[in-house]
């Protein structure tokens, strides 16, 4: 619960990025509301949740933005070979959000780069932190981290604090990404790194607190 009379010293915008279905929305639900859902729906539209906490006697409002569906478009643009993943209909033409259309007959994807760029820029604008989330049971979602990082570095402030998150560590027997691989990538790219489980609540609070504390350290 929050104290509504409390004065806010800082507002930190943090964005969640990564492939679809890695658990971004559930990490946010766990951190902001201590909730988790196994059949979470893909979110439509951009949304954020806030949580107010105290760091070093200062009141910090964390504003966490969830990619809410546009990662699917990024999927299309970055990985045309798997865009079937996002097609919900058997019709020959399928409309996606942000004015992007897939043509089944010619297997072509026609996006609207200008609109896409506008949405992307708005998403990253003002962000002081980013969480790059992969699913540790899906190797591809980890391999795509380099592309997500590239997009982030292309749009965000250069001083943004970035944390790599390997989510779903409760599924240990299905692990497809060794901790050392992720550690090595994080070290090379100068990222914080943590393995989490939104389901079991493992390291979720710690991950958010770590990134927010680091942002505070840099800004104050």
Please state the closest distance from residue 11 (CB atom) to ligand GDP, in A: 23
Residue 66, helix vs strand vs coil: strand
Please state the closest distance from residue 48 (CB atom) to ligand GDP, in A: 13
CA atoms within a 13 Å half-sphere pointing along the CA-CB vector of 61: 13
By CB under 5 A, name the one of 10, 32, 36, 43 that touches Mg ion: 43
Q: Which does 220 bind (CB under 5 to 8 A by kind): ligand GDP, Mg ion, none?
A: none
Enumerate residues 6+ apart whose C-beta is below 8 A from 95: 101
C-beta of 2 vs 172, nearer to ligand GDP: 172
Helices 113-124 and 145-155: crossing angle in degrees, nearest 10, is 80
Gap between the Cα atoms of 32 and 57, Å rounded: 20
C-beta of 25 vs 167, nearer to Mg ion: 25
120 interacts with Mg ion by CB under 5 A: no
Please state the closest distance from residue 210 (CB atom) to Mg ion, in A: 22
Structural contact between residues 195 and 166, judged by C-beta atoms closer than 8 angstroms = yes
25 interacts with Mg ion by CB under 5 A: yes
C-beta of 55 vs 204, nearer to ligand GDP: 204
Closest CA to 213 of 34, 62, 41, 48: 62
Q: How many CB atoms lie within 10 A of CB 97?
A: 16
Strands 100-103 and 129-135: unpaired
Structural contact between residues 130 and 15, judged by C-beta atoms closer than 8 angstroms = yes
- With CB under 6 A, what is the number of residues at the site for ligand GDP? 18
Please state the closest distance from residue 175 (CB atom) to ligand GDP, in A: 12
C-beta of 25 vs 141, nearer to Mg ion: 25
Return the residue matching tokens 């497809």.
Answer: 176
173 interacts with ligand GDP by CB under 6 A: no
C-beta of 25 vs 55, nearer to Mg ion: 25
141 interacts with Mg ion by CB under 5 A: no
Please state the closest distance from residue 8 (CB atom) to ligand GDP, in A: 27
Residues that bind ligand GDP (CB under 6 A): 20-26, 37-38, 40, 42, 167-168, 170-171, 197-199
């Amino acid at each position: 619960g929050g104290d509504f009379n409390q004065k806010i010293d800082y507002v930190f915008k943090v964005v969640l990025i990564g492939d679809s279905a890695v658990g971004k929305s559930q990490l946010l639900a766990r951190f902001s509301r201590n909730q988790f859902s196994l059949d979470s729906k893909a979110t439509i539209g951009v949304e954020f949740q806030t949580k107010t906490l105290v760091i070093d006697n200062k009141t910090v409002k964390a504003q966490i933005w969830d990619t809410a569906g546009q990662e699917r478009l990024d999927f299309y643009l970055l990985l045309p070979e798997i865009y079937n993943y996002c097609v919900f209909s058997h019709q020959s033409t399928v409309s996606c959000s942000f004015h992007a259309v897939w043509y089944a007959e010619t297997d072509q994807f026609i996006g609207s780069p200008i609109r896409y760029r506008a949405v992307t820029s708005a998403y990253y604008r003002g962000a002081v932190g980013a969480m790059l989330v992969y699913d540790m049971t899906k190797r591809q979602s980890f391999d795509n981290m380099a592309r997500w990082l590239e997009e982030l570095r292309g749009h965000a402030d250069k001083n943004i604090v970035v944390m790599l998150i390997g989510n779903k560590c409760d599924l240990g027997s299905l692990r497809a990404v060794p901790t050392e691989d992720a550690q090595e990538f994080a070290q090379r790219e100068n990222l914080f790194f943590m393995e989490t489980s939104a389901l079991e609540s493992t390291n979720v609070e710690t991950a958010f607190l770590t990134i927010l504390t680091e942002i505070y350290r840099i800004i104050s």
